[in-house]
Amino acid sequence: MEQLVGTGVALVTPFKNDFSVDVPALERIVEHCVHGGIDYLVALGTTAESATLSKADKQLVIDVIVRANAGRLPLVLGIGGNNTAAVVEEVSQTDLSDFDAILSVSPYYNRPTQEGIYQHFKAIAQASPKPIVMYNVPARTGSNMLPETTLRLAKDFNNIVAIKEACGDMIQIDEILKDKPEDFMVISGDDFTALPTVLAGGSGVISVLGQGLPTSFSKMIRLGINNDSDEAYQLHHALQPLMQLIFEEGNPAGIKSIFESLGLGSAVVRLPLVEATPRLKSKIADFLKSFDKVYA
């Protein structure tokens, strides 16, 4: 799927001080990404705080992103969970006409075996009218989807087109790249491994930081795809301190602090997450000022 090559971003859900969805802020963030050179947008991923959004909130977020994007960039919709039957039902009942693919996380909390993970994605693949990007994020799910499971699913189902791999382990990522079907895509799910994954043969990234600094981040990935590793690593090393800062107190507290500094949205998050501390906000704001002087 050419639509998913390059830099995708897992959009935040901006909130007002009363914790309701901030529609104008979400519109500004979409515009910021489009004009910054992002290649596609992901709605209702983990970074969107989808776990604390009501059904009405989720529909509002979808409607705002679709309207603000206005057909300019490909769209991916997050639909996942640890109840396979419920995920299948949601996939079957959701209007996916505006979306190019769905992103579905490996089942969390239940800690299924590799066979259980396989059967979970098999059920989704059989129900989905759209291509599926699987999402492996062991730090959040409590289990690691092993390369043999990923490759088995990639070979068995034509509509499973990619893996968003956030294991943080380049050895595991290389195992998938080495044996994957030719048209199966390996997408980094970590900002830290985005460039190494691309240089090893991956298709790009679904980024958190990319929505905050879209121009620089998407340029880094384009350079990587074109095998211009020297200039790409210059940007990677320049951005690396901010990659660390935005995850220091959890996601999306850090990236929302960037949007607060940029005047695009507030830093408000919903419990059980809490807003970034003044100390972290100050460090992020100082970094953005110094970075802007060099890369603006």
* Residues forming the active site: 135, 164
Query: What's the CA gap between 65 and 30, in Å, rounded?
Result: 7
Closest by CA to 213, choosing from 177, 259, 250, is 259
Query: What's the CA gap between 278 and 253, in Å, rounded?
Result: 12
Closest by CA to 199, choosing from 176, 220, 215, is 220
Contact 76, 100 (CB under 8 A): yes
Query: Residue type for 62, please?
Result: I
Q: Alpha helices of 79-228 — where are they, by DSSP H?
A: 84-93, 114-127, 138-141, 147-156, 170-179, 194-199, 214-225
Give the tokens for residue 278: 């003044």
Query: What's the CA gap between 198 and 82, in Å, rounded?
Result: 30
* Residue 40, phi-psi category: left (phi > 0), alpha (psi -120 to 50), beta (remainder): beta
Question: What is the distance between the terminal CA atoms of the chain, rounded to a whole angstrom?
Answer: 32
Residue 78 has φ and ψ, to the nearest 5°, of -80, 120
Query: Residue type for 208, please?
Result: V
